[in-house]
Structures are given as structure tokens and as C-alpha cells.
Amino acid sequence: MTKRSIVTIPDPVLREVCAPVDTVDDDIRALSDDMLETMYDAPGIGLAASQIGILKRMFVLDVAKEDAPKEPMVFINPKIVWSSEDLSVYQEGCLSIPEYFEDVERPAEVMVQFLDREGAEKEIRANGLLATCVQHELDHLDGKLFIDYLSKLKRDRVIKKFTKQAKLAGKD
């Protein structure tokens, strides 16, 4: 397993739409292991492939409580097939926008279909933090970030701050 580098805004790779995974093979399983290691190390509770610069439709999650055993999950070619009309608000963060948190309103429950690490078809009904996290990660696969749900004023302010930091670090 290898820890990968997480890209931060304004890196344009975060705005790309990821392509479906053709076959769930050993390379994809190795990539999912690297993503889990990168997520745990960050630390975070989710990570999409585009956040390590890989434009494949897959993400990993672990929303288990800190004192509970790990519950790593791998979602390949995920699709939300149903969303509740009920909404819930969570304070979201993003490993690609470090140390910035804001409330975001999303459907409280979703049904998601995906392939697991073995390539088996799965469907789960998610609520609570799992539902929020699934939607946040699926957005990454479509080039969307949680700041896109905020006012233009807040979004522009955070993008400006990170663009300035990237320039100072010579990343642009």
C-alpha cells in the first residue's frame, strides 16, 4: 500500500468528470487500498480518486466512530438511484480544501448502487453521516465541490485564499 498525495483547490483536476471503471481487477483493488491508506493518514472519512489525481469513478469511505473498529468501504461506479425529499444539514469538510468547514444541506437519505472491491453489484440505503459522505464523494466524481453549495461570496473568498497559498508555494 502506498500513501498518495492529495490535491487541493484550485487544482483543475478537481473539476474534471471521472470515467467509469471498466473492470474491477487487481490494479483497481491496489488503488482502493492506496486510497484507504491515504484517507486514514490524512485523516479523513472519505476520499475520491480525483483527489489523488486519478480520474476514475471510485471512492472510499469509513464513517465508523473513532473508538469503533474500522469499517472501510469501497464504491466503484457508484450511482444514486433514489434520494429522500427530507433534507439534513451537516458541517462538511474536504481534504482538498483543508481546514475549511461549512454547513451544507443535502437529501437526508439515499439509495446507492455500486460495485464493491470484488466487483460484486451492491445497493445500500444510507442515512446520517454516511448519506452526506456518499453524496460529497459522488460530487467529486462529477467535478463538484461542497463549496459549490455555498454563496458566491463565500466560495470566491475560499478559492481566492487557496489560490494565493498555491502561488506562494509555487504550485501554479
Where along the sequence are the contacts to ligand K1U (CB under 6 A)? Answer: 43-48, 90, 92-96, 132-133, 136-137, 140
Give the whole-angstrom CA distance, residue 107 versus residue 142: 18
Distances (CA, A) of 41 to 28, 84, 95: 20, 33, 11
Q: How many CB atoms lie within 10 A of CB 93?
A: 17
**CB 4 to ligand K1U: min, Å:** 13
Q: How far is the CB of 128 from ligand K1U (least distance, A)?
A: 11
Rounded to whole angstroms, the Cα distance separating 146 from 138 reads 11
Q: How far is the CB of 140 from Zn ion (least distance, A)?
A: 6
61 binds Zn ion (CB under 5 A): no
Site string for Zn ion, 88-117 (x = CB under 5 A): ------x-----------------------
Q: Which three cell numbers stand for residue 122?
A: 451492491
CB-nearer residue toward Zn ion: 61 or 94? 94
Measure the CA–CA gap between 72 and 82, rounded to whole angstroms.
Answer: 23
Instruction: Decide which of Zn ion, ligand K1U, none touches 24; Cβ closer than 5 to 8 Å per partner kind.
Output: none
Return all residues near 84 (Cβ < 8 A) that are at least 6 apart: 107, 108, 109, 110
By beta-carbon proximity to ligand K1U, the closer residue of 25 and 87 is: 87
78 contact choice in Zn ion, ligand K1U, none (CB below 5 to 8 Å, kind-dependent): none
Q: Which is nearer to ligand K1U, 20 or 43 (CB)?
A: 43
Residue 20, binding choice from Zn ion, ligand K1U, none, Cβ under 5 to 8 Å by partner class: none
Judged by beta carbon distances under 5 to 8 A according to partner kind, the member of ligand K1U, Zn ion, none in contact with residue 132 is ligand K1U
Catalytic residues: 137
Q: For residue 109, give the 3-state DSSP assignment.
A: strand
Residue 66 CB, nearest distance to ligand K1U (Å)? 7
